[in-house]
Structure 1
């Protein structure tokens, strides 16, 4: 087989009846892949091909993320004498784009694997970490200059339930830095508009919003039932109220603030640090 013929398009691969499909992606064992594919590292495959490919003529498809590593592996196997090796052109990215059938491991849906693919691959996250994010809940107090990007990234990362609390309305002077809002939204409640933005960004997130000024009389009720409280307000009075509720409810609190080009960040865990 000539090296120019190593690649095979997803639709053609899907109907070619390969006897072996070898997925050399790093997280292949825990992410959607072609039905019947075996997860194997590229190093292990090239070190002992006969362990994974029965004969020198067994029709075998090599799969990676975008088709580059699989092509390198396929060329190496061809050089070693394996005559029926093909590389999936475009990798699993192309396979997904063509909406071809996949086998999906438990915990996450196929769409969730695609949406969160880049962070699932990060050390310390993985499939279990992503599942934990989807099962968690966060309350964000203040969705202004700091709270807006916090909401954007938490919703984008797949936190399962988010509540945004803010008593303000959108002002024209907010828009240059609070980029989740629009000119058309000037005058509208921040909490409502922030929740709408997050829902459009990631419909999987269960969003709640409250146009509310927190006080000692309502904070515990508004913040209970969350796993983490994130304080992004510029009001020290409100920050102290949330801190009191954090201690009362036993919920960790993340405090952040920004001033010009400076910022502060602190995490307070009731019973585990200063509050």
Structure 2
């Protein structure tokens, strides 16, 4: 990228007062270019931007980072963000980064992954769209257009606050007819129905069936969005092949919980 310094200058300029614009600039770049920019920015700025990007995009970018950058960034990410990222990256990348995750952070991640076998947390997907409540309709539409090159379109997007608490939902139709400068908070639907990540899947299926919903957001005990659960996923059950891959990689026995033990081989 010939104008790498120009991108860095622009991003540094925006990040202090307009993180949404800085994030949009990153998302408009190719994966290779975005990875290059984030690696040369100061670590604290890269972390700020990562918090405002879609998880699936971040996961792709991280796999292009060099080891020195990963060693600076990963230990400083919030446990919840890092836990979600681990569900998106390849098993080869999980093997590559496990040495950068230790101590308290490792314990926190294990706790976040300790979902009972029949809980919603085991069946949810972390592939969803969420945007900060202060973003405008114009900004979100631009983000979605950029992301559409990398993922399938979605019918809904969830609205969160700075701490990723779920505060609303907006469908694509309402987003498209909103005034360009309206914030998501002003046009979103409030009082969102959600499911606790520890709820039994049978109870979750009943709740979705009763409301005739095809999907619902999954939250933790503090109402932070963790993922979404789809009705078809509850019916079909967990895809055992992907779970067994993680089991084999981290040395999890057949009698252990696959996701809760994702870091069990790193205890020492």
From the CA coordinates, give the structure whose radius of gyration is larger: 1
Report 1 or 2 for greater relative contact order, CA contacts < 8 Å, sequence distance ≥ 6. 2
Bin the TM-score by the shorter chain: under 0.3
TM-score after normalising by structure 1: 0.21
Higher-helix-fraction structure: 2
